[in-house]
Chain A
Amino acid sequence: MKKLFVLLMSSIVLVSCNNSQKSSEDSTETKAVSTQSVRIKGSETVLPISEKAVQVYLKDHEGANLMVTGGGSGVGISSLLNKSTDIAQTSRKIKFSEKQKIEADGRNLKEVIIAYDALAVIVHPENKVNNLTREQLEDIFTGKIKNWSELGGDDLEILPYSRETSSGTYEFFKDNVMSGKNYASGIMSMPANGSIIQSVGQTKGAISYVGVAYINQSVQPVSVSFDQGETFVAPTAENVKNESYPIVRPLYYYYLVTPEQPEKEFMDFILSDEGQKIVEEVGYISIR
């Protein structure tokens, strides 16, 4: 028994030694090339862009050390405040109170739009309703319209799903589609875009919204009208490009202006042609 214990312990020690050795090698190596270590943290919506951008970026910058973390826009910004991240990625503009807190001790916050995201309204593929006006959307999500037959569809209860109450997407939709009104209190909320797709795909009366990048065959996007029903625009890449699609929001990177500027090279990269190509590959809209 004792032998086994010794064996176990020594193997643990060995492994941890190995690790520390490896890590010290790693860090000296990093120093030789560059001391760059950038932490990116925040919104789930921006994650796919940051993830892919980091993968491509590292091909040319081997020594660099980048970390991408989710958590949400709020976490990203409060991490900026306590210095546990270098870049905060958000799907909403920074809140007034958050900005005041960060700039309170004389720090200078920089805001950069890195991409645009079009929000598509989606329904179950068997739903006959293909066009909705902004006013109808507002009434659906505030709970005034409750049945699809009121909109020319089947006699079926409307089941609106939203993103989590505190995600940037939730607030953007509220401010821009529902003219700032609050959601109906019984609305179902899903923790992530993927679960929304899953739920809408398996629920006949469902309606929800996701970034266009997330759309797949299991759901059907709806054309929307922001001019009282004169023109309905589908959330296609083309319509988004020519700016006729109305529900588009900016995605941000926030960072503090410091003399060291650890994030500068990566920021240059994401705003470069190559970086913006990645934005489009992932399914978002480039800032150009």
Chain B
Amino acid sequence: MHKQKIHRRILDKITEKLLTLSGALTSIIIVFISVFLFTEGIGLFNTPDIEEGYALYVNSENRIDNLSPEETKQIFDAEVTSWKAFGGEDVAINVFRLDAIFNFYSENELGENYELLPEKLGEVISREKGIIAFLPNEYAPQGLQVRKLETATVTLEDYFLGTDWIPTATPAPLFGVLPLVLGTLLVSFGAMIIALPLGLGVAIYLSELAGNRERKLMKPLVELLAGIPSVVYGFFGLVIVAPLVQKAFNLPVGETALTGSIILAIMALPTIISVAEDAMRNTPLGMREASLALGATKWQTIYKVVIPYAKSGISAAIVLGIGRAIGETMAVLMVTGNAAVMPTSFFESVRTIPATIAAELGEAPAGGAHYQALFLLGAILFVFTLIISVSAELISKKRHS
């Protein structure tokens, strides 16, 4: 009997310890997630800005020491054709890729396992003054007239201020996240412009005007709107909303930021409605009655008494709605067209951070620069939402105090 009691007491102690531990669970998970995203992604700033395993070579008479990723891209896209543009001599740029060696030598001349390749590559580079060759390290060219361009690593500036996101560009991928960040903000902002008047209107209707029966009918319907999976919204957007937007605004394409905003607005509505409605319903009856007794109409009471009283709750609703919109992935991926350009209007295609991660993670070689860049995007998104949810917290705390 006595023994049993001791057993039970030990058991109780263990259970209580477990409960304490589980209380800390969410905090632990959050720390874990942030540590993981950053450690997986931070390596990006130590990787060379040229594709892994490759290097750029020029003729030793060339005065150019290094090229930025943008300059490299311009050269290889033939947008710049003379070395003069980068402070070199006025010599035409001659772009050389490994396959081009077969224009100069036959397969036999390169040896059985290509062991003569480095030597021959060296010959070609020595001969051409304006050459720039993009070659794997395995076949690094040998010769006196060959100079390897120094490779820099991807810089913070390239990443956070770069305006081009071309992660698979060869030889130098461009990881500028600015268009993605702005695209995400634009689509979410548009969603809020559409969703706020609608959401607040419905919230006012539900909390102030609707009868008990109407409210009982509508609330579950609004909740259902929140429950529809995002893929279904994306599917609906792709098949119905995109063609509709295209026709209505007479646009060349239907997959625009606006299409994304409309879909996101619908998805953010339930959050906004339920949070704002809760806040308005909390307005003390006495305040309303006082206003009405002073001769104010119902509408005046709503916008002079109820809305100011519920202001912080409404702000929290807005912030949470933005949070919902910023992180949405699948629906946006299917309807915004995903063009990685600096967004200029709602009628153009944009690319958001979550859509970029979902679309590209599958093809990015694990552990490579692209993979790391995507994890850093995840980290940016994480920080965004953290800021949003903490500010929502602060806003709603203000209400209580």
Contacts and interface: CB of A to CB of B under 8 A. Distances in A.
Interface string B116-149: 0000000000000000000010100000000000
Interface in B41-88: 51-54, 73, 76-78
A97 B51 CA distance: 9
Contact of A95 (B167, B339, B361, B365): B365
Contacts of B185: none
Interface residues of B, number: 47
Given A73-B363, A74-B365, A180-B97, A186 B341 contact: yes
Interface in B351-386: 351, 358-368, 370
B252 A78 contact: no
B345 interface: no
Interface stretch (B13-21, B30-38, B151-159, B330-338): B330-338
Given A97-B53, A159-B252, A186-B339, A181 B366 contact: no
Contacts of B243: 202
Nearest to B167: A165
A229 interface: no
Interface stretch (A25-33, A188-196, A264-272, A277-285): A188-196
Contacts of B136: 96
A78 B370 CA distance: 13
Interface string A158-198: 01010011111011000000001111011111110001001
Interface in A197-243: 198-199, 202-206
A157 interface: yes
A72 B239 CA distance: 25
A204 B334 CA distance: 19
A71 interface: yes
Interface string A36-75: 0000000000000000000000000000000000111111
B291 interface: no
Interface residues of A, number: 46
B238 interface: yes
Given A96-B136, A159-B253, A202-B242, A71 B362 contact: yes
A100 B334 contact: no
B67 to A, nearest CB: 15
Contact of B76 (A74, A181, A186): A181
B252 A204 contact: yes
Q: Dominant SS at the B interface? A: loop
B337 A188 contact: yes
B334 A195 contact: yes
Contact of A182 (B54, B77, B370): B77
B363 A167 contact: yes
Q: Dominant SS at the A interface? A: mixed
Contacts of A81: 366
B363 A182 contact: no
A188 B339 contact: yes
Report which residue of A73, A74, A82, A142 has the largest number of chain B beta carbons within 10 angstroms of its beta carbon: A74
A98 B73 contact: no
B389 interface: no
B168 interface: yes
A75 B370 CA distance: 13
B166 interface: yes
A114 interface: no
A165 B168 contact: yes
A202 B370 contact: no
13 contacts: A74-B364, A74-B365, A77-B365, A78-B365, A180-B170, A186-B341, A188-B338, A189-B351, A190-B338, A202-B243, A203-B246, A204-B252, A205-B252
Interface of B: 51-54, 73, 76-78, 97, 136, 138, 164, 166-170, 238-239, 242-243, 246, 252-255, 333-334, 337-341, 349, 351, 358-368, 370
Q: Considering the complex of A and B, which 4 residue pairs feature the smallest CB-CB distances, nearest first?
A: A72-B362, A166-B363, A78-B366, A72-B363
